[in-house]
C-alpha cells in the first residue's frame, strides 16, 4: 500500500476550480477500491473511513415530527444504497460519515444523524455505533475501535494467516457513524484541520457518495490529501451509467426540473439549453420565471401579494431567471415550458406549518394567482404528457432527465402533479418509447410514492451532482481522487 505524502495544515489550500470537462476524468483515471482490493489486496484490519450519503428526505413539517427522537425518512433509497459498500469493505473496520440537511455550520438537533440509527440498523442488519462529533477529542477511543474490529486481523504468520482470520471475522461487525458533518463550518470550507480530525483514526478513505462529488468539502476533497483514497462501488456504478450521457452527439433531450433551488443551477440550465429540445420547469424555478415574465396576474396587481412573492426570491435568483430567458431566446433551439395553471397554497396554515390535507387545492390560471403556487395544475400536466407522447412518436429513445418534484411534493395533496407526470413517463419508459433518467433524494421519494421506481431506466442517488455532471466540468471530488491516485503512484 502506498503511503500518502505528509502535508502541513498550513500549506494546504483548496485546489483551483477546474475548467476541464468531466469526460477527461474517466474511471480509468480514478483509484477504484474494488480494483485495488482484487489486484494486491488491502492489509487486513486497516480502518476504512467512508463518505456516504444519508441526506434522506424527512417527514419534518410539524413540530412533533421535528422533535421526535426517531426521524421518519420519506425514502430509504440512500440508506439501502450503503449496503453494497458495507459488503465491499468487509471485513475491514468501517467508519461512516455523512451530512443531513443544511444546518449551515450549527448544531440542529432535528438534523442529527443519531435520529436515523434505528432505520440504519434495521436496513443494514448490524449494530451501528454512534460516534458523535468527529471534531471532539476522544470521539473514537481504542475500546470503540476494538468493537469495530480494528487490528483484529493483523496477526503474525503472513498473509495466509490474516486471510483465514479475516474469514472468521467477516461476520456482521458493528459499524461506526460520525455525527452530521455540516454541524461544523469546516466541512463546507474544505478545511484541512476538519479533515485531519475526521481522519485521525482511519488508514484508508473511500468516497461512495456521488451526490456530493460536485462539492469541494473537507470530507470529499481535503481528506484525499491525508489518506490513501478510493472510489467505492456505488460511486463507480453511478459513473459507469452516467458518463455516457456526455456522448449524445446531436440527440436532443427533454429535462423536467423542479424543486426549491434556483441560484445553484444557472450553469446547469445553460448547459441543458444546448442539450435539450425542451426544459419543463416546475417548483420554485418555474415560479421565479413566472415572476420575471410578469405572468402572476393578481399577485402583481395586489401590491402586498406582489411584494410577498418577490421577496421569496433573491435578486440573484431573479437575475438568473432573466439570463436564462435571454439565453433561450438567443439559441432558439430549446423551448422553456412553464405551467399555465397552478394549485394555490392553502388559505389557512397553522402556526406550526400544518393545514387540513383533506381540502382540495384551489386550481387557477397562473395569471389569476392570489396566493403562492404550491403545485402545477392539471392543464400543465396534460401539456407535459402531450410533449412526451409527441416526442416518443417522433424520436423514440429520447432521454428524459428528471430532477426535483413539480410542486411542494412533501405536503400532500400538493404531490398530485409530480405523481401524475412520473407515472405517465414511467409508462412510456416501460414500453421502451423513452429513456427515463432521474436523480435526487426528493425525486426518488416521489418515484417510490408513485410506485414506479422500477420502471425508470436509471435512478441516480445524486441530485445536484447528477445535474452538475451534465455541465461537463470536472467535479471537485473526482478531481481530488484523480490527483490522489497520481500521488499514490508516485509515492
Residues 6 or more apart in contact with residue 393 via CB below 8 angstroms: none
Domains identified in the chain, total number: 2
Looking at the fold, whether 258 and 236 belong to one and the same domain comes out as: no
Residue 138: which residues within 8 A CB-CB, separation 6 or more?
none
At residue 344, φ and ψ (nearest 5 deg) are -80, 150
How far is CA 324 from each of CA 197, 282, 284, 482, rounded to the nearest angstrom?
A: 42, 15, 14, 33
275 shares a domain with 233: no
Residues 106 and 167 in one domain: yes
261 neighbors 412 (Cβ within 8 angstroms): no
467 assigned to some structural domain: no
Cα–Cα distances (Å) from 93 to 46, 258, 466, in that order, read 7, 40, 30
Q: Are residues 186 and 259 in the same domain?
A: no
Query: Do 24 and 155 lie in a common domain?
Result: yes
Shared domain check, 437 and 479 = no
Torsion angle of C-alpha atoms 19, 490, 44, 28, degrees rounded to 10? 40
Burial-class residue 259 by CB neighbours within 10 Å (0-12, 13-18, 19+): buried
Residue 482: phi, psi to the nearest 5? Answer: -60, -45
Pairing status of strand 373-376 against strand 341-344: antiparallel
In the three-class reduction of DSSP (H, G, I as helix; E, B as strand; rest coil), residue 30 is classed as coil
Residues 156 and 258 in one domain: no
Tell whether 288 and 218 lie within a shared domain: no
Angle, vertex CA 453, rays to CA 451 and CA 458, nearest 5: 165
Cα 38 to Cα 32, 34, 88, 140, 345, distances in angstroms: 10, 6, 11, 29, 55
Q: Is residue 399 part of a domain?
A: no
Task: Answer yes or no: is 119 within a domain.
Answer: yes
Within-domain flag for 1:
no
Specify the pTM. Answer: 0.76
Question: What are the Cα distances from residue 184, in Å, to 117, 134, 156, 179, 199?
Answer: 21, 10, 41, 10, 15
Residue 36 in any domain: the answer is yes
List the pLDDT tens digit at each of the 491 positions of the chain. 445 544 444 445 555 554 444 444 688 899 999 998 887 667 778 999 999 999 998 988 788 898 999 999 988 989 999 999 999 999 999 999 999 999 999 999 999 999 999 999 999 999 999 999 999 977 788 889 999 988 654 433 444 444 444 444 446 889 999 999 999 999 999 999 999 999 999 999 999 999 999 999 999 999 999 999 999 999 999 998 888 776 655 567 899 998 776 666 666 777 788 888 899 999 888 888 888 887 775 554 454 544 455 556 777 778 878 888 888 888 778 889 999 999 999 988 888 778 888 889 999 999 888 888 999 999 999 999 999 999 999 988 888 999 888 999 888 999 999 999 999 999 999 999 999 988 877 888 889 899 998 999 888 888 778 877 877 678 999 999 999 999 998 86
Question: Domain with 97 in it: what CATH number?
Answer: 3.40.50.1260
| 223 plus 290 within the same structural domain | no
Would you say residue 346 lies in a domain?
yes
Same domain, 342 and 414: yes
Task: Assess if residue 286 is contained within a domain.
Answer: yes
User: 33 and 232 in contact (C-beta within 8 Å)?
Assistant: yes
In a domain, 245, yes or no: no
Q: Are residues 388 and 339 in the same domain?
A: yes
Q: Which domain does 137 fall in, by range?
A: 9-240+474-490
Calpha distance 486→491 (Å, rounded): 9
Q: Do 231 and 264 have their domain in common?
A: no
Amino acid at each position: 500500500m502506498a503511503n500518502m505524502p505528509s502535508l502541513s495544515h498550513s500549506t494546504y489550500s483548496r485546489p483551483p476550480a477546474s475548467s476541464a470537462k468531466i469526460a477527461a476524468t474517466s474511471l480509468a483515471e480514478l483509484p477504484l477500491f474494488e480494483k485495488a482490493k482484487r489486484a494486491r489486496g488491502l492489509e487486513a484490519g486497516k480502518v476504512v473511513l467512508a463518505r456516504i450519503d444519508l441526506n434522506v428526505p424527512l417527514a419534518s413539517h410539524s413540530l412533533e415530527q421535528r422533535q421526535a427522537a426517531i426521524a421518519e425518512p420519506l425514502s430509504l433509497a440512500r440508506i439501502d444504497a450503503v449496503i453494497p459498500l458495507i459488503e465491499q469493505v468487509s471485513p475491514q473496520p468501517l467508519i461512516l460519515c455523512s451530512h443531513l440537511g443544511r444546518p449551515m455550520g450549527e448544531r440542529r438537533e432535528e438534523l442529527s444523524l443519531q435520529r436515523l440509527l434505528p432505520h440504519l440498523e434495521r436496513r443494514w442488519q448490524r449494530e451501528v455505533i454512534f460516534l458523535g462529533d468527529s471534531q471532539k477529542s476522544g470521539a473514537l477511543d481504542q475500546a470503540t475501535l476494538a468493537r469495530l474490529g480494528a487490528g483484529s486481523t493483523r496477526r503474525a504468520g503472513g498473509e495466509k494467516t490474516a486471510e483465514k482470520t479475516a474469514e472468521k471475522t467477516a461476520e456482521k461487525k458493528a459499524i461506526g457513524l460520525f455525527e452530521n458533518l455540516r454541524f461544523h463550518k469546516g466541512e463546507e470550507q474544505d478545511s484541512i484541520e476538519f479533515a485531519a480530525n475526521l481522519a485521525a483514526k482511519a488508514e484508508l478513505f473511500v468516497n461512495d457518495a456521488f451526490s456530493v462529488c460536485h462539492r469541494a468539502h473537507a470530507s470529499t476533497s481535503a481528506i484525499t490529501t491525508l489518506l490513501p483514497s478510493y472510489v467505492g462501488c456505488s460511486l463507480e456504478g453511478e459513473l459507469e451509467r452516467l458518463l455516457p450521457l456526455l456522448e449524445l452527439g446531436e440527440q436532443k433531450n427533454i429535462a423536467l426540473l423542479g424543486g426549491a433551488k434556483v441560484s445553484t443551477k444557472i450553469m446547469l440550465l445553460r448547459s441543458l439549453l444546448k442539450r435539450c429540445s425542451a426544459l419543463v420547469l416546475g417548483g420554485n424555478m418555474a415560479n421565479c420565471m413566472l415572476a420575471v415574465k410578469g405572468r402572476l396576474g393578481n399577485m402583481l396587481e395586489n401590491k402586498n401579494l406582489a411584494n410577498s412573492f418577490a421577496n421569496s426570491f433573491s435578486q440573484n435568483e431573479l437575475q438568473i431567471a432573466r439570463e436564462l430567458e435571454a439565453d433561450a431566446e438567443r439559441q432558439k433551439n430549446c423551448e422553456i415550458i412553464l405551467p399555465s395553471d397552478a394549485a394555490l397554497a392553502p388559505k389557512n396554515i397553522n402556526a406550526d406549518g400544518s393545514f387540513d390535507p383533506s381540502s382540495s387545492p384551489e386550481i387557477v390560471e397562473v395569471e389569476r394567482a392570489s396566493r403562492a403556487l404550491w403545485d402545477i395544475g392539471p392543464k400543465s400536466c396534460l401539456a407535459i404528457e402531450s410533449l412526451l407522447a409527441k416526442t416518443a412518436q417522433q424520436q423514440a429513445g429520447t432521454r428524459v432527465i428528471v430532477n426535483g418534484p413539480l410542486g411542494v411534493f412533501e405536503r400532500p395533496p400538493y404531490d398530485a402533479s409530480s405523481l401524475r407526470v412520473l407515472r405517465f413517463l414511467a409508462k412510456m419508459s416501460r414500453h421502451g418509447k423513452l429513456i427515463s433518467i432521474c436523480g435526487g433524494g426528493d425525486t426518488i421519494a416521489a418515484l417510490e410514492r408513485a410506485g414506479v421506481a422500477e420502471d425508470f431506466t436509471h435512478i441516480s442517488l445524486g441530485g445536484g451532482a447528477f445535474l452538475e455532471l451534465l455541465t461537463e466540468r470536472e467535479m471537485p471530488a473526482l478531481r481530488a481522487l484523480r490527483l490522489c491516485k497520481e500521488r499514490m503512484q508516485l509515492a
